[in-house]
Amino acid sequence: MHPSATAADRLPAFQTLLEGKADLAFIPLGTDLHYLAGIPRDIPNYGTTLHPGGWLEGAWLTPGHAPILALPRMTAEFKGRGESKGIEIRVLGDHDDPAALARDIFASLGVPARPRIAISDRAHGESAVHIQALLPDAVFLSATDILRALRVIKSAEEIATMQEAGRRTEAAFAETLKHLKFGMTELDAIAEINYQMQRQGSLGQTFTTSLYNTGPNHPLLMGRRLESWKRPIHPPCSVLFDFGASHDGLCYDYGRTVHFGEPDTEQRKVHATVMAAQAAGIAALKVGTTAAQVDAAARKVVEEAGYGPNFRHRLGHGIGWDVHEPPFLTKSDHSVLREGMMFTVEPSILQERSFSARVEDVIVCRPGGGEKLTNGFQNLLVVGA
């Protein structure tokens, strides 16, 4: 079967991949299960919400047995997960023994005493600890790594869904531009763009929306969002947006640069260099090229313009059901690109107390070069008084 499996094919395809590798798989509620069985995941909470027996919440399956979905009562009733069709569901009552339910599931699935158990990378340590206590001779491996063979190539359906996620993301940005003004805080701008993504019908942001405010009078506060969010935006400065809307399980990632005040020659050069670097990376993102070669093609443009040290990060990353997925467009990743892989291409020039710029779009790998899923706002955007 072609690795870009349709929704109906994914679960049996994964079971086939498990054969000879694992006797049991545990896939908690999250990205892998959403991909495999269409069971949706939530937008994450800031704090943790606990339910009794939550460690066994998820799908348990073997190469030859369809999944058994174990759910604490509160998850089944209040989150609607108990309505999943075509999957056997076992609900753990508030005062039931989760270990007893797990043993019943193991017996139903014919799990041996010394099993090889594949668990998702994003499973909680609590789950591994309890499974190990029940099956002390178990050997663990990554279910996500096994599943990667399916997830890395996107189907036409997934690409269409991602394109719609991009449309909603870019439409939210277009609306946000109407509300940008001198003196607003970074948090004002972030709140506006998050609101506009939901107005476009997105469930919400796929990662914490980021905004970097840089210029002669603004230190570059990388990784210090809580401090920088309080800063008012005064010209002259360049504001770098990084955000994305979710849509039907897929995660978009998008970036543009907005200049507050009239840009000078230096800012225009920085922005033009970033755009040229992205174009070079997209052209190189073709079937048979390596991830490292794509990174090098874009990086060469920035280096030749004299800004090499200010391009501080990889060119991009795989994207789809998660915001960051392998492979990565970086000099140490020599993965050979295949048609249907999706990546961000996001060069930047980041300068301390000077003007910066970034751009980011999702790109599909094709035989003749990358296919952009968003293409608006190619020129430097300017907010005036």
Q: Contact at 8 Å (CB) between 282 and 370? A: yes
Query: Can you give the pLDDT of all 385 residues of the chain as single tens digits?
Result: 445 567 788 999 999 999 999 999 999 999 999 999 999 888 877 888 888 899 999 999 999 999 999 999 998 888 765 555 678 999 999 999 999 999 999 999 999 999 999 999 999 999 999 999 999 999 999 999 999 999 999 999 999 999 999 999 999 999 999 999 999 999 999 999 999 999 999 998 999 999 988 988 877 766 666 666 788 999 999 999 999 999 999 999 999 999 999 999 999 999 999 999 999 999 999 999 999 999 999 999 999 999 999 999 999 999 999 999 999 999 999 999 999 999 999 999 999 989 999 999 999 999 999 999 999 999 999 999 6
pLDDT at position 43: 81
Using alpha carbons, list the distances in angstroms from residue 74 to 49, 80, 81, 242.
Answer: 11, 9, 10, 35
| Beta strands in the chain, from DSSP E residues, in sequence order | 24-28, 58-62, 65-72, 88-92, 116-119, 139-142, 210-214, 237-243, 246-247, 250-251, 254-260, 316-318, 325-329, 342-345, 348-349, 357-358, 361-364, 371-372, 381-383
Report CA-CA distances (Å) from 12 to 9, 37, 113, 123, 127: 6, 10, 25, 21, 24
CB atoms within 10 A of CB 113: 9
What is each CA distance from 71 to 23, 84, 89, 352, in whole angstroms? 21, 11, 7, 50
According to the model, what pLDDT value does residue 85 have?
A: 63
Res 82: pLDDT: 52
Determine if the pTM surpasses 0.75. Answer: yes
> How remote is the C-alpha of 184 from its chain's centroid?
29
Residue 45's pLDDT is 79
Quick one: 206 exposed, middle or buried, by C-beta within 10 A (0-12, 13-18, 19+)?
A: buried
pLDDT of residue 1: 41
Coil, helix or strand at residue 7: helix
